[in-house]
Structure 1
Amino acid sequence: MALISRRPSLTQAMWIVATAGFAVAYIFAAIDISGDLQKRKQIEMNQELSGLTVTIGNLVHELQRERGESSGFLASGDPAFAARLSEQRKLTDAAAESFLAGGAQLIASGQKLPADYEAAKRKIAKLPDLRRQIDAATIARTDAVSSITDLDTTLINLVPHIAETMNHAPTARAALRHSLLLAGKDLAGLERATGTAGFAVAAENGGVFPPDVLARFNALALTQETLLDAFALTATPELAAALDTMRRSSPSQEVARMRQIAASGDPDVILGVSGTAWFDTITDKINALKNVEMASAAEIRAQVDAAHASVTSGTIFHVALLLTLSALAGIMVLLITRTVAQEVHATTTRLDALSHGDIRSPVPENRIPDLAKVSEALSAFCSRECARQAAEEQEEALQRRSGKGIERVLSQVRQHDFSARLRLRDLKGVALLIGEGLNTILSTAEEVVAAQQARDEAAHCEALRAREREAELQAAAADQIASIVAACSRGDFSARIAVDGKEGVFRELSLGVNGIADAAASGLEQIRRSLAAIAKGDLTQRMNGEFHGLYAEIQTALDETLANLSRIMNDIEEQSALVARTADEIRSATDDLAMRTERQTETVQKSANATERLAETVQGNADSMDTGRELTRQLGIHAENGAKISGEAIAAMEGIESTSGEMAEIINVIDEIAFQTSLLALNASVEAARAGESGKGFSVVAAEVRLLAERSAEASKQIGELIAGNVREVQSSADKVRESGLALNRIEEATAEVITLVERVSGASQEQATGIRELGRAMTEIDTVTQSNGELVLRTAELMDNLAESGAHLFELVSMFRPGTGTRRSAHGERRVAAE
């Protein structure tokens, strides 16, 4: 306010206008740079979070290896597993220490981690106790595997939660995709542990793969491939190609072959695969899958590193550009103000000297066109004034010479010497006339000469008064010019010189000064209007009109600046539209994946219900076989009693007939049970065929049940034939009573065989019931995993919505600017059309 109240000079006014422009530019630059610095800080935090994600993948990998070694050790007790397990635990501990150190570093830097991190820490702390139980073989294999799997699941679930805290959308998407790969790889580890145990048990049981283990084995393979398919669907072309290469590698093909061997149920073929061979082969596949995981982790690092480099380079570019433009603009303003100030100062100094009567000093030359006109007018005025003064001086000299001659003549006249004459060749103008008159009137009296002198004095006084009036007009004009120049030096270009009543050089000089003020006021007003529009976000305002010299250069620089800003705003809007379209495409893919996951969940639930009903039926069969076993045992008791009383032939015959009838009924019951069991096995096979890939386990179990039913029917048929032959022998002849003891012995032996067969059938039924229960639990686990996949897909969809909202917010920020290029398109409008 103090500076304004003092009416700043022209230099100060130009610096004030330039400073206002700098202030607006610095405000926008500060906002831009502040946003870049904030993004850089967030990207650096994302770098640390992505590093923790990679560390989680390494820890999960080592835990999977330890889980497989532990399962093989508990299932077989092989010393080879014990030695490898000890080495693997060291690798797991190193990975756990790296994970805990990374989490502690993030917490120390102020990053809040999900609750799963604390849960993972607690479970890692329980690992030593679990390992002691495994070493002492005081824990079941399934419980040990379940404990390590629970820790793996917690760690894998931590990855999507970490992704939710990332504000860089590409990195968050890569982390979510990485969690799918980790989940599939974890299932591969479970498959390794399950297959190792299954092949190890099969080696001890004559090549028979336990049904419950086989069902879980098949379910893990199916779910694993589903997760890998989901990863491939959302992966980049490079990662999808790496996964496809892994699937076509020899370890993966060998694993597929071993899966088919396990599913075939052929004991001879199964015996050809050892638990160690399966473990080593699938470990090679998991290692290949680990390479894909490392590529995925590298992609996460590349995403966040690229974002960090982009933000850093953008910040450096903005700062460098701001400093460079500030320096150039400062130099330009300094040169312009110095040039204008020097020119104006030289002109005002010369005008001030003119106001004090100095008309002979040289007029400075001005390079500014408007000021050059003032200098030309001032130079012309000084030249004319010098010529006028020279003429006056010459006239005064002539008058002085003529006066001396007249005095000489008059002196002679006073002496009454009328013979004297003036020399006319030395006189001009009035003096010549006077000389001629004097020469003609020398004889006139002294009174006539005195009257003539009085007239000459009166004319001289009038000339002096005229010169005084002209000097006053010159001083007034000089004062007006000086006041206008002083107002311009203070930044006030509104004052003008009135040209009314002025003529000649003063009129031209006044018009030149007014022209300078008009040009300066017009140019500065255009600059002020453009800067005010920029401050409001309007980039369409230009300096209108035709300018020359410095103002033309300012007009060109301002137009180029506004064009560059408009182009930058259009580029930002195009990127906003691209972000919105990408988010919509990913959200569509996620919705499709969610629908397929929901259908898979429904299929798994139906399979679980069918398995539950089958378990109830098989349990009923097992109960019936228990009853048959009890009846067969009673049959043996009767046969033994018949052998003891073989001496009582007739009574023994009757007892044999009675016992034979009871045995026939039992055989009928056994036949009926075998027939019903065969029907159930057939129904199970049909349901397995309907279930497709997920029903392979049911198909194997149904085949085993059908085989048991056929064996039961064959045994009952043999028993029926034995009983029929015995009855025929009893009825054929009483003479063979003496041979009844031998017949009873044969009956007793046959009964013992029946008891053995019935016990086998009963045991097989119990095993069948147990296997189906295990199958039910496996289906439940598959259902749980599928639901987890659905939740993961939903979280992905939420992140895509957040990304779309961020793109819309970016468009709203940019929309405050009006580039006015006529080519820009609303990113929000594109997104709305795509949504419709």
Structure 2
Amino acid sequence: MSDHQLEERLAFMGMDDEARAALRSLEGFLAAELPNALDGLYVRIRETPETQRQFTSERQIGAAHAAQIRHWRLIATADYDHDYVQAVRLVGETHARIGLAPRWYIGGYALVAESLVRALLRRAWPAGFLQRRSGDGGQAADELAALIKAIMLDMDYAISVYLEAAERERKRAEIEAVAQQQALVRDSFGKALKRLAEGDFVYRLQAELPPEYEGLRSDFNTAVEALAGAFRTLTEVSQVIDSSSSEISAAADDLSRRTEQQAASLEETAATLDEITATVRQTAEGAKRLNTLVGDARAEAERGGVVVAKAVAAMEKITQSSDEVGQIISVIDEIAFQTNLLALNAGVEAARAGEAGRGFAVVASEVRGLALRSAEAAKEIKVLIGASAQQVQEGVALVGRTGEALQSIGGQVAEMNTLFGHVAASAQEQSVGLAQVNAAVNQMDQVTQQNAAMVEQSTAASHALAGEARRLGQAVARFRIEDPSRAVARRPIRATAAHS
């Protein structure tokens, strides 16, 4: 209570200088009557269990009795100064500390006031109210009023201090309770957050928290459950990625090996096909030249039929021409033989090429057939030329037969011309076809090389993916996650607890 508040109360009660003077006049009276009044109070205190338990011994009661005497002497001085304020504050704080309810304090004041008022009235009117007495009745009234005001002021101030102390204690208790609650919440959440920081998603807040923190606890557990579910899914996904990336890496390695083998085989095939293409081109050119020579031979044979009459004169020339034809036939026979060999080689290479060389094998077979027929025709021509030479040597008598032979030769030469025309056309077609096949194979070789490079890149990427998948698995493995079946089993129990 401040000095201003005390002055306000004194002014409101009318505790002015006159009242204070009246109170001071009772100093001797109070010194004489107060011990009896306090004795009666402590008799009642001993008889009442609620008040008696505040004292542990008679010595303590005696000390309280002496303190009361000193306090009433201070009241009788009517000096409401710092000493008085401190004395009343000590009384109020002591009552608050020991837990003495105000009703017992008010009751004690009532008992003391009763004893003092009775004594004061007996002193003012010893013979009773109806008998005359000496003295001033107004003074007695002033003293009684001053005494009652002093008692009420002292009681008011002491109870106010008591209430202030009780309020401070209540606030202190509330602050302490809040601090304990906050410490509990801080410790609980600190432990939970530490476990969470260590990667433990199984731990849940199970401690009972103040009601205002229950929602926060439930939200925390729900958040941890959600994180656990997310990391559980992440673990499963990382395992799938690790398994899939390993399979992809193995498949990429196998594909890389096969692509390299295919590229090497295709490169060899392209080189061989280049050689075959060059050979067929040469064969086509030779067949074209041979076709021209056969055409010339046919023309010569036709002209020979016209000049049969001059055969005798031209016998030498015929002999020479026969020799030349024999040489040409030898060339034809040699070309047919080479063509046959080339066709055989082409068939072998086509067989090696497999499915890609099937069409070329058919063409090579046809070329071989034509070469065989050319060889047979060349052999027949050789026989005919030999016969012609023999007939020329026999003389003019055989000129007629020579003419017939020349006609036969002309027909055969015409047939050979036709055959060699076919051979030349086929060789030309083979040359064109092989050139196209060669271009396609070369293009396939380029594409295969590009595919091989892409496969190498894919293989490197798959190995990198597998490495990252392993890193992801190692990163996820440090977290402790509850088994999904147990998490599902716990979920209904937690939901029931939350609703309860």
- Please confirm whether the aligned pair reaches a TM-score higher than 0.5, indicating the same fold: yes
User: Is the contact between residue 539 and residue 562 of structure 1 (CA under 8 Å) also seen in structure 2?
Assistant: no
Give, in angstroms, the shift of residue 706 of structure 1: 0.9
| Counterparts of 1:612 and 1:415, CA distance in 2 | 164
Contact 1:674 1:710 in 2 (8 A): yes
What displacement does 1:617 show? 1.6
Instruction: Please give the alpha-carbon distance, in whole angstroms, between the structure 1 residues aligned to 2:404 and 2:174.
Output: 152
- The corresponding residue for 1:761 is 423
Residue identity opposite 2:263 in structure 1: T
Out of 263, 281, 296, the position equivalent to 1:619 is 281
Q: Tell me: CA distance 1:402–1:819, structure 2 relative to 1, closer, same or farther (3 Å).
A: farther
CA offsets 1:338-373 (integer angstroms, 9 cap, x no match): xxxxxxxxxxxxxxxxxxxxxxxxxxxxxxxxxxxx
CA 1:563–1:639 in 2, change beyond 3 Å: closer, same or farther?
A: closer
Deviations 1:20-79 (A, max 9, x none): xxxxxxxxxxxxxxxxxxxxxxxxxxxxxxxxxxxxxxxxxxxxxxxxxxxxxxxxxxxx
Give the deviation of 1:613 after TM superposition: 0.8
Deviations 1:407-454 (A, max 9, x none): 655469x989xxxxxxxxxxxxxxxxxxxxxxxxxxxxx9xxxxxxxx
Residue 386 of structure 1: aligned partner: 103
Is the Cα contact below 8 Å between 1:526 and 1:543 reproduced in 2?
Answer: no
Residue matched to 1:707 = 369
Change in CA separation of 1:645 and 1:532 when aligned onto 2, cut-off 3 Å: closer
Match of 2:169 in 1: 481
Aligned-pair distance for 1:619?
A: 2.4
Counterparts in 2 of 1:564 and 1:765: CA distance versus 1, 3 Å? closer
Q: Deviations over 1:192-249 (max 9, x none)?
A: xxxxxxxxxxxxxxxxxxxxxxxxxxxxxxxxxxxxxxxxxxxxxxxxxxxxxxxxxx
Q: Structure 1 CA distance, aligned partners of 2:180 and 2:290?
A: 121
Aligned residue runs from structure 1 range 99-118, under 5 A:
none
Letter in 2 for 1:385: P
Greater RCO between the two (CA within 8 Å, min separation 6)? Answer: 2
What is the distance in 2 between the residues matched to 1:751 and 1:465? Answer: 162
In structure 2, distance between residues paired with 1:818 and 1:730: 109
Spell out the pairing of 1:407-446 with structure 2 (5 A cutoff): 409-410=126-127
Maintained 8 Å contact 1:523/1:551: no
Distance, in Å, in 2 between the alignment partners of 1:775 and 1:689 is 15
Aligned AA for 1:760? H
User: Secondary structure in 1 aligned to 2:308?
Assistant: coil
Aligned counterparts of 1:623 and 1:809: Cα–Cα separation in 2:
67
Alignment of 1:525 onto 2:213: no
**Aligned residue among 315, 322, 325 for 1:663:** 325
1:727-758 Cα offsets, whole Å, 9 max, x none, are 44444564333444444333333333333333
The residue matched to 2:313 in structure 1 has which SS?
helix
1:651 match: secondary structure: coil
Q: 2-side partners of 1:677 and 1:663: how far apart? A: 20
Deviations along 1:304-349, whole A, 9 cap, x unmatched?
Answer: xxxxxxxxxxxxxxxxxxxxxxxxxxxxxxxxxxxxxxxxxxxxxx
Q: Match of 2:336?
A: 674
Contact 2:200 2:479 in 1 (8 A): yes
CA distance in 2: counterparts of 1:479 and 1:745, whole angstroms: 152
Matched-pair contact (CA < 8 Å) for 1:708–1:764:
no
Aligned counterpart, 1:288: none
C-alpha distance after superposition, 1:639-670 (max 9, x if no partner): 34544443344334433333333322322222
**For residues 728 and 466 of structure 1, do their structure 2 counterparts lie closer, same or farther at Cα, with a shift above 3 Å needed?**
same
Q: CA deviation at 1:770?
A: 2.0
Contact 1:584 / 1:804 at 8 angstroms: preserved in 2?
yes
Letter of the 2:439 partner, please give it. Answer: R
The question of whether the paired residues in 2 share the 8 Å contact of 1:587 and 1:797 is answered with yes
Hey, what does 2:445 align to over in structure 1?
Answer: 783
Q: CA deviation at 1:799?
A: 6.2
Partners of 2:214 and 2:405 in 1: how far apart? Answer: 133
1:554-593 equivalences under 5 Å are 554-593=216-255
Matches within 5 A, 1:187-266: none
8 Å CA contact retained: 1:628, 1:758:
yes
C-alpha deviation, 1:692, in angstroms? 1.9
How many angstroms apart in 2 are the aligned matches of 1:611 and 1:529? 79
TM-superposed CA distance for 1:539, in Å, is: 6.6
**Alignment partner of 1:755: what SS?**
helix
Whether 1:606 and 2:323 are equivalent positions in the alignment is no
Asked if the contact 1:526/1:544 (under 8 Å) is kept, the reply is no
SS in 1 for 2:309: coil
Structure 2 distance, partners of 1:767, 1:551, is 94
Tell me, yes or no, if the aligned pair for 2:231 and 2:481 is still in contact at 8 Å. no
Query: For residue 499 of structure 1, what is the aligned residue in structure 2?
Result: none
Q: Percent identity?
A: 29
Partner SS for 2:419: helix
For the residues of structure 1 that align with 2:128 and 2:399, how far apart are their CA atoms? 215
Instruction: Report the count of equivalent residues.
Output: 376
Structure 2 letter corresponding to 1:595: R
Q: Determine the C-alpha separation between the residues in 2 that align with 1:711 and 1:769.
A: 20
- For the residues of structure 1 that align with 2:409 and 2:200, how far apart are their CA atoms? 111
**Cα pair distance change 1:709/1:560, threshold 3 Å:** same
Distance, in Å, in 2 between the alignment partners of 1:619 and 1:465 is 140
Corresponding residue for 1:691?
A: 353
Q: Give a deviation string over 1:694-723, Cα, whole Å, max 9, x none.
A: 221331221121121122122223323332
How does 1:125-204 map onto structure 2 within 5 Å?
A: none
Give, in whole Å, the separation in 1 of the partners of 2:364 and 2:391: 41
8 Å CA contact 1:583, 1:804 repeated in 2? yes
Read off the aligned partner of 1:523 and give its amino acid letter. L
- Deviation string, structure 1 residues 762-814 (Cα, Å, up to 9, x no partner): 333222222221221121232234344445545655765786688689789x8
Maintained 8 Å contact 2:241/2:469: yes
Q: Identify the match of residue 383 of structure 2 among 721, 725, 732.
A: 721
- 2:428 maps to a residue whose letter is Q
Summarize the Cα distance change of 1:752–1:561 in structure 2 as closer, same or farther, 3 Å threshold: closer
How far residue 567 of structure 1 moved from its aligned partner, in angstroms, is 3.5
Tell me the equivalent position of 2:142: none
Q: Alpha carbons of 1:789 and 1:471: their partners in 2 closer, same or farther (altered >3 Å)?
A: same
- Cα pair distance change 1:388/1:607, threshold 3 Å: same
| Aligned CA distance change for structure 1 residues 395 and 665 (closer, same or farther; 3 Å) | same
Secondary structure class of the residue paired with 1:650: coil
The aligned residue for residue 408 of structure 2 is: 746
Over 3 Å counting, the alpha-carbon distance change for 1:478 and 1:662 in structure 2 is same
- Work out the CA distance in 2 between the residues paired with 1:669 and 1:560: 99
**Contact 2:181/2:209, CA 8 A, preserved across alignment:** no
Question: Counterpart of 1:650?
Answer: 312
CA contact (8 A) 2:242 2:469 kept: yes
TM-score (norm 2): 0.60
Partner amino acid, structure 2, of 1:520: Q
| Unmatched segments (≥5 aa) in structure 2 | 1-94, 135-147, 485-500
State the distance in 1 between where 2:110 and 2:393 align. 185
In 2: Cα distance, 1:385 partner to 1:799 partner:
87
SS of match in other structure, 1:647: helix
Please say if residues 639 and 747 of structure 1, whose CA atoms lie closer than 8 Å, have aligned partners that are also in contact.
Answer: yes
Task: Tell me the distance in 1 between the aligned counterparts of 2:409 and 2:224.
Answer: 112
* Native 8 Å contact 1:565 1:819 kept in 2: no
How much is the aligned-residue C-alpha RMSD, in angstroms? 4.7
CA contact (8 A) 1:539 1:565 kept: no
Q: Give the CA deviation at 1:759.
A: 3.1
